């Protein structure tokens, strides 16, 4: 694959391969409210209705989620690993909160552009680029990619 490449993952930082963690590749981590994560995952897995897995009640699933048995381990340690990396290596890991992205999308898109080292020539070009990024990354568009 030609560069630049984009990879989306839910994998905890310690589980990433060294080809990512020990390289100059940039990581953007988006942290989300743990309750919202649970509700979203519950709805997603409920729609999938996997035959190979026993059905769980909402209460059972919530207990497993809180104990790190469901998903990619405990939310707190998952988030904390990326946060610590963003403090230790701010040029490598950009830590964002989903709720902040929704609240001030333009500001955070500018942060991402700067973090990635993208060059924008003119103010008009910058505005158009940010508008296009926001339009292409709307929830409805991203949901269709899953």
CB neighbourhood size of 128 (10 A):
12
Nearest Cα neighbor of 70 from 83, 54, 82 is 54
Phi, psi (rounded to 5 degrees) for 95: -100, 120
Active centre residues (catalytic): 10
Where does 26-146 show beta strands of DSSP type E? 27-31, 93-97
Q: Are 68 and 134 in contact (CB under 8 A)?
A: no
Rounded Cα–Cα distance for residues 116 and 110 (Å): 10
Beta pairing partners, 29: 95
Sign (positive/negative) of CA torsion 88, 116, 23, 18?
positive
DSSP code of residue 119: -
């Amino acid at each position: 694959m030609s560069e630049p490449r984009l990879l989306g993952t839910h994998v905890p930082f310690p589980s990433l391969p060294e080809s990512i963690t020990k390289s100059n590749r940039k990581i953007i981590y988006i942290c989300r409210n743990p309750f919202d994560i649970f509700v979203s995952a519950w709805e997603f897995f409920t729609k999938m209705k996997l035959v190979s897995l026993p059905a769980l009640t909402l209460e059972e699933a919530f207990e497993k989620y809180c104990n790190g048995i469901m998903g990619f381990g405990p939310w707190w340690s998952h988030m904390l690993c990326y946060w610590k990396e963003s403090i230790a290596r701010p040029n490598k890991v950009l830590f964002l909160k989903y709720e902040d992205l929704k609240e001030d999308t333009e500001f955070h898109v500018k942060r991402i552009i700067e973090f990635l080292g993208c060059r924008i020539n003119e103010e008009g070009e910058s505005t158009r680029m940010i508008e296009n990024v926001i339009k292409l990354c709307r929830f409805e568009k991203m949901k269709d990619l899953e």
